[in-house]
Amino acid sequence: MQAKHVERPPVPAAPRAESGPVQPEDDSSPEALTPEELAAQWEAEAPEPAGPVANLASSLVVLALGCAGMALSVGLGLGTPAAPSAGMWPFIVTLIAAVMAVVQLIVGRRGGQDGEKFSAMSWYTVIGFATLILMVVLMPLIGFEIPALLLCFVWMRWLGGERWRSAALYSVLVVVAFYAIFIAALGTTIPRLF
């Protein structure tokens, strides 16, 4: 029944304090002890920052959105400061976004410390997102039971690394429990098959 998801990233063993506080027990995983060591260990475990390409891409997306927003706002009419029209406020807001995007483009050109690089594990998120979309599309057509069952199974078996048998068993249990709570007990109108 053990999940196989424990792909520990190589954590550099935290340097132990010389004063050696109480800490026997398991030596399999290095445990940081002082706040400073713990902070250092978190830093080491933290994913890499997103980097310059991501900064360029995200700044350009914001810039494009900002410009599009400004164009649409102008289309709505700006009015004058004394009698602002519908487009004035969105224009100001999107202008701020666009200007800030240009600033970020320059300030963050070497990447900076924020964000996180995509990793191979990011595909898990893509698959997870796809199942959520599938569920939203299928729910009105065939009710929530089968899509929910599929979602649970995919998330448990492939995204979570459960075994076939336990994934199937728990998926069925979860869907039955949701049916009992949302349909039988609360009487909501969630689209359903049965």
Partner 1 sequence: MDFFGPVLDGFGTVLDPTNLLYCLLGVVIGMLIGVLPGLGPAATIAILLPLTYGVEPVTAIIMLAGIFYGAQYGGTITSVLLRLPGEASSVVTVFDGYVMAKQGRAGTALGIAAIGSFIGGTIAIVGLTFLAPLVASFALDFGPPEYTALALLGILLVATISGGSKIKAIIAAALGLFLATVGRDGFTGAERFTFGNLSLADGIDFVPIAMGLFGVGEILYNLEERHRAVSAPLKVANVWPRRQDLKQASGAIGRGSVLGFFLGILPGGGATISSLASYALEKKTAKDPTRFGKGAIEGVAGPETANNAAATSSFIPLLTLGIPANATMAIIFGALLIQGVTPGPQLISNDPELFWGVVNSMYIGNILLLIMSIPLIGVFVRILRIRAAILAPITALITLLGAYTIRNSMFDVMLVVMFGAVGYLMKKFGFEPGPLVLAFVLGSLLESNLRRSLLVLEGDPSGFLSRPISATLLVVFVFVAVWPMIKSAIDQRKNRLVAVQAVKEKENA
In the window 93-152, what residues touch partner 1 (CB under 8 A)?
Answer: 93-94, 96-97, 100-101, 103-104, 107-108, 112, 114-116, 118-119, 121-122, 124-125, 128-129, 132-133, 135-136, 139-140, 144, 148, 151-152
Is there a contact between 41 and 13 (Cβ–Cβ < 8 Å)?
no
CB 161, min distance to partner 1, A: 6
Pairwise CA distance, residues 125 & 58, whole Å: 19
CB 138, min distance to partner 1, A: 11
Q: Of 33, 37, 17, 15, nearest to 25 (Cα)?
A: 33
Strand partners, 48: none
Using CB under 8 A as the binding rule, whether residue 20 contacts partner 1 is answered as no
Using CB under 8 A as the binding rule, whether residue 50 contacts partner 1 is answered as yes
Residue identified by tokens 């996180």 is 116
Using CB under 8 A as the binding rule, whether residue 45 contacts partner 1 is answered as yes
Q: In the stretch 57-96, what mask flags binding to partner 1 with x, by CB under 8 A?
A: xx---x--xx--x--x---xx--xxxxxxxxxxx--xx-x
Looking only at residues 174 through 193 of this chain, which bind partner 1 when binding is defined by CB under 8 A?
A: 174, 178, 182, 186, 188-190
Please give the C-alpha separations between residue 194 and each of 63, 176, 190, in angstroms, as whole numbers.
Answer: 49, 12, 11
Using CB under 8 A as the binding rule, whether residue 3 contacts partner 1 is answered as yes
Q: Residue 96 corresponds to which amino acid? A: I
Pairwise CA distance, residues 66 & 79, whole Å: 20
